[in-house]
Structure 1
Amino acid sequence: MGLFRSMEVFVVAVEEGSMSGASGKLGLSPAMVGQHVAALEERLGVRLLNRTTRRQSLTVFGASYLEQCRDILERVAMADQDAEASQTLLRGKLRVTAPTTFGAETLMPTLRRYRKLAPDVALDITLTDRNVDIVDEGFDIAIRIGELRDSRLIARQLAPYKMMISASPDYLSRQGIPSHPSSLANHDAIAFSPAAGSPWRLERHSEIVQVVPRVSLTVNSGQAVRMAARAGLGVIMQPAILVRSDIQTGLLVPLFSDWHLRERPMSLVYHRDRRMTPSLRSAITFFVSEFGAP
């Protein structure tokens, strides 16, 4: 017999004043109620109840044990309630990592909406272009751009990462507007360090052009690449989300708008063995809804 169940039966038997009264409340036979009390007495090696055919009364030890049982059962009930609440309430801390540009330009503006959904969830966000190991480094969620290789992770596909080629009006007035992607080989390019040396691939109908631009400046920050382009230092290929506002205001001019640049896959990933708490589930659902494929 379970110890906590026997304690519960003992408390009810005392409160109801008899084994038969407890049996009706607990849905047990009077004999089974008696067995629970007897099991406690055998375990403790001391009598809890003085029983006659007409009445029962607590022994001195039984009265003390009754209060201890009540206290223990109340604590167990509170622990159960806390456990149940933890499965329904959105609270706690979530660690999220995302690429720097995406995180600053796209992720951050959405967090106000998530805060309304889950005001008691504390978000710890790390923006880095390093491909962090979310298992070893203790992250709950990561947003990744590019192909995935870690089989330990569960991936949810997001909308692909779109790229755009642009330059400042000042640069184009000095160097001329490239009429064809192949002419980019004769233009100064500003490269984001992790992608420096990678060819730029453009497609239009059946025509495919792959060109390695003449890199005159390499920077390890997407924002710095953008500012260098605004200063007229060269042509850039950067995420559309990074240059969109500059193009709208005329600080940068889009190039090859009738060409298609290969999009990069983007995914939300989390560890397959991670316990799916309500907070983690809510964040995954929110991010997939916000950034998922249309």
Structure 2
Amino acid sequence: MDRLTSMGVFVRAAELGSFAAVSEALGMSPQMVAKHVVFLEDRLGSALIHRTTRRQSLTDVGRAFYDRCKLILADAEAAETLAQEMQSQPRGCLKVNAPMTFGAFRLAPFITRYLARHPEVQIDLTLNDRFVDPLEDGFDLLIRIGAVSEAGLVAHPLAPYRLIACASPDYLARRGTPQTPKDLERHDCLAYAYWSPSIPCQWTFSRAERTETVKAAGRIRSNDWKALLHAALEGYGVTLGPESVMTAEIAAGRLVHVLPDYEGPVRPMHVLYPATRRPTAKVRSFVEALRAEFPAV
């Protein structure tokens, strides 16, 4: 038998004074009421209720057990209420994993606005570009750039991650402006290098259904694009970075869009969570807000 159910039956029996009254109140037979009480007595090794043909009363153990049962049942009900509220109102800690550049430049400002609207939510944000498993690493949500191939994840598409090439006006005045992707091989390219330095970095551009891939090499290589952006602003080469970040630098005149007639790499981006977990209100609200902020189309 379920112990909490038996405790509930026992509490009603103590309060109503007879198994018949409990039977009527709970819609179960008097025999089933008695089985629940006997189950507890057998488990405890002590009588809880003195029963006669005319009346029943609690034993000393029964009175003490009754007081504790009421507290336990109240706590259980409070726990269920809290769980139900968390399914309807965003609250609690949300663990999010995201790529470094997108997370630092675009996701962080979004998160502060989200938290302003949901004061009972806390966010634990981890930024890295390595592959993570949400179940093993304990994340509620992942934001991933690139194709999603794993089974067991619910994936919602976000706006594609577009990359464009840029350099500072000073650099272009000194070295000239590339006219084709092939020209980049004669320039200092600020290459993103998350993997081994021995693996060459390649940039891909397309125009009129024709794709060109060039080797990007230069004096500076980093696994953190913020460092490459700083180097580009200082005039040390051409960088390939997210269009959403570059736009502000271009508008301010600090960078110039190189090869504007070519489309740089475009990668799909998704927000994901484990299919085995029923999404809580905090997960649902965060995903909905993300999709509104970064619409797929």
Using the size of structure 2 for normalisation, the TM-score is 0.81
Identify which range, 168-177 or 118-127, moves more after superposition. 118-127
Task: Look up the match of 1:83.
Answer: 80
Between the two proteins, the alignment pairs up a number of residues equal to 290
Distance 1:170 1:73, change over 3 A: same
In structure 2, C-alpha distance between the alignment counterparts of 1:263 and 1:46, rounded to whole Å: 73
Distance 1:231 1:22, change over 3 A: closer
Larger Rg: 1
Pick the aligned partner of 1:219 from 218, 222, 244: 222
Shift of residue 226, structure 1, vs aligned partner: 0.9
The corresponding residue for 1:187 is 187
What is the aligned-residue RMSD (CA, Å)? Answer: 3.1
For 1:175 and 1:214, locate their aligned partners in 2 and report how far apart those are by CA, in whole Å: 15
2:18/2:56 contact within 8 Å kept: no
Does the CA contact (< 8 Å) of 1:10 and 1:37 recur in 2?
Answer: yes
CA deviations 1:24-69 (Å, max 9, x no partner) are 43345667656766776787674834534xx42426x2x6514523
- Maintained 8 Å contact 1:154/1:270: yes
Distance in 2 of aligned mates of 1:34 and 1:137: 48
The correspondence for 2:263, drawn from 254, 260, 265, is: 260
Distance 1:76 1:217, change over 3 A: same
| Matched AA of 1:83 | E
CA offsets per residue over residues 98-146 of structure 1, 9 Å max, x none? 1111011111001123214442332211112233344433333221222
* Amino acid aligned to 1:58: S
What corresponds to 2:161 in structure 1?
161
State the alpha-carbon separation in 2 of the partners of residues 263 and 212 from structure 1.
18
Q: Report the secondary structure of 1:172's partner residue.
A: helix
Q: Distance in 1 between matches of 2:284 and 2:208?
A: 42
Structure 2 CA distance for partners of 1:73 and 1:172, relative to 1, 3 Å: same
Residue pairs, 1:245-284, within 5 angstroms: 245-274=248-277, 276-284=279-287
3-state SS, counterpart of residue 88 of structure 1: helix
Distance, in Å, in 2 between the alignment partners of 1:16 and 1:230 is: 79
Task: String of CA shifts for 1:217-241, please: whole Å, max 9, x gaps.
Answer: 2122211111111111111111112
What is the deviation of 1:252?
Answer: 0.2
Are 1:115 and 2:102 matched, yes or no? Answer: no
Q: Counterpart of 2:261 in 1: which secondary structure?
A: coil
CA contact (8 A) 1:165 1:237 kept: yes
TM-score by length of 1: 0.82
Q: In the TM superposition, what is the alpha-carbon distance from 1:3 to its structure 2 partner?
A: 5.6
Q: Distance in 1 between matches of 2:245 and 2:84?
A: 38
The match for 1:243 is 246
Equivalence for 2:235: 232
Query: Distance between the aligned counterparts of 2:220 and 2:273, measured in 1?
Result: 36
